[in-house]
């Protein structure tokens, strides 16, 4: 999720630039599929019971937004695509790391079974909250900057796309909150009363994911100035 999807995005940027100007009969169906994929994969996330599957479909939803931006082929869209790919690479990797810390202790990925972990791991619950807020592009994260670039570019390309991207953003916020509430809130199951504590290496791993996201917003030109 953090590396292979971004290599695919890089390949799309390289190939798409060679097809400039784009033949409309080739690019328009791909744009429709990318925008439709945002809605479909986001909606699938709302029905997931497996934690890792939810995070994986979330990655596909974000990459649909990146694909749509790459096809438009403007400086703003490519800047937004690059920014969102880097931001999502760190965010998605952090979510998978958090899911793995849960699985190592509970040995299940079912959301209905893994509940109320905030009582057992309050510090890990903080990491869950920060990562989910980053995933739903809350300010002042770099994810918000990338999504604003892409949404404004798509709106300039075609006005009705604001409906699809707006609904996709709303669903993203919904399933991010759903993921946090299902894993952290509620009463913990009696079979999970004795859980091993979290380790320093796990907190260090999450710090190395979220700290760059916080620092990049201080100087977004490091990743957003590539195509301007």
Assign residue 141 a region (left: φ > 0; alpha: ψ between -120 and 50; beta: otherwise): beta
Residue 225 has pLDDT above 60, yes or no: no
The SS3 of residue 143 is helix
Residue 200 pLDDT > 60, yes or no?
A: yes
Q: What's the angle, vertex CA 28, arms to CA 61 and CA 155, rounded to 5?
A: 65
Task: Give residue 20's pLDDT.
Answer: 65
Contact present, 227 and 153 (Cβ < 8 Å): no
Sequence-ordered list of residues with C-beta below 8 angstroms from that of 199, at least 6 positions apart, any chain: none
Tokens of 199: 């380790």
- Region 22-46: what's the mean pLDDT? 84
| The length of the chain, given as a count of residues | 228
Q: Rounded to an integer, what distance in angstroms lies between the CA atom of residue 62 and that of residue 85?
A: 8
- Residue 21: is the preceding peptide bond cis (ω within 30°)? yes
What's the whole-number mean pLDDT along residues 156-168?
A: 91
The answer for residues whose C-beta is within 8 angstroms of residue 161's C-beta and 6 or more apart is: 35, 68, 154, 155
Q: Are 135 and 91 in contact (CB under 8 A)?
A: yes
Residue 187 clears pLDDT 60, i.e. is over it: yes
Distance of alpha carbon 153 from alpha carbon 112, whole angstroms: 39
What are the tens digits of pLDDT across the range 70-128? 888 888 888 999 999 999 999 999 999 999 998 988 888 888 888 888 888 889 999 99
pLDDT at 148: 92
pLDDT given at position 122: 87
Least confident among 7-11, 14-18, 79-83: 14-18
At residue 228, the pLDDT reads 44
How does DSSP classify residue 192? G
More confident residue, 187 or 41: 41
Q: Round to whole Å and give the CA distance between 197 and 140.
A: 31
Q: Is the pLDDT of residue 1 over 80?
A: no
Residue showing tokens 């380790």 = 199
Q: Average pLDDT of the chain?
A: 86
């Amino acid at each position: 999720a953090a590396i292979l999807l971004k290599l695919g995005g890089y390949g799309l940027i390289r190939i798409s630039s060679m097809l400039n100007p784009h033949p409309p009969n080739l690019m328009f169906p791909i744009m429709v599929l990318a925008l439709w994929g945002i809605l479909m994969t986001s909606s699938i996330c709302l029905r997931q019971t497996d934690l890792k599957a939810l995070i994986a479909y979330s990655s596909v939803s974000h990459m649909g937004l990146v694909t749509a931006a790459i096809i438009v082929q403007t400086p703003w869209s490519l800047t937004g695509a690059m920014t969102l790919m880097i931001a999502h690479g760190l965010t998605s990797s952090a979510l998978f790391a958090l899911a793995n810390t849960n699985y190592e202790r509970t040995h299940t990925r079912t959301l209905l079974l893994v509940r109320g972990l905030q009582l057992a791991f309050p510090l890990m619950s903080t990491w869950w909250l920060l990562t989910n807020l980053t995933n739903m592009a809350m300010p002042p994260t770099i994810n918000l900057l990338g999504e604003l670039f892409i949404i404004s570019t798509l709106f300039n390309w075609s006005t009705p796309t604001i409906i699809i991207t707006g609904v996709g953003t709303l669903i993203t916020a919904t399933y991010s909150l759903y993921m946090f509430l299902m894993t952290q809130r509620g009463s913990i199951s009696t079979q999970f009363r004795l859980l091993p504590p979290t380790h320093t290496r796990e907190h260090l791993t999450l710090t190395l994911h979220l700290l760059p996201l916080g620092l990049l917003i201080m100087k977004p030109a490091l990743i957003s100035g590539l195509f301007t």
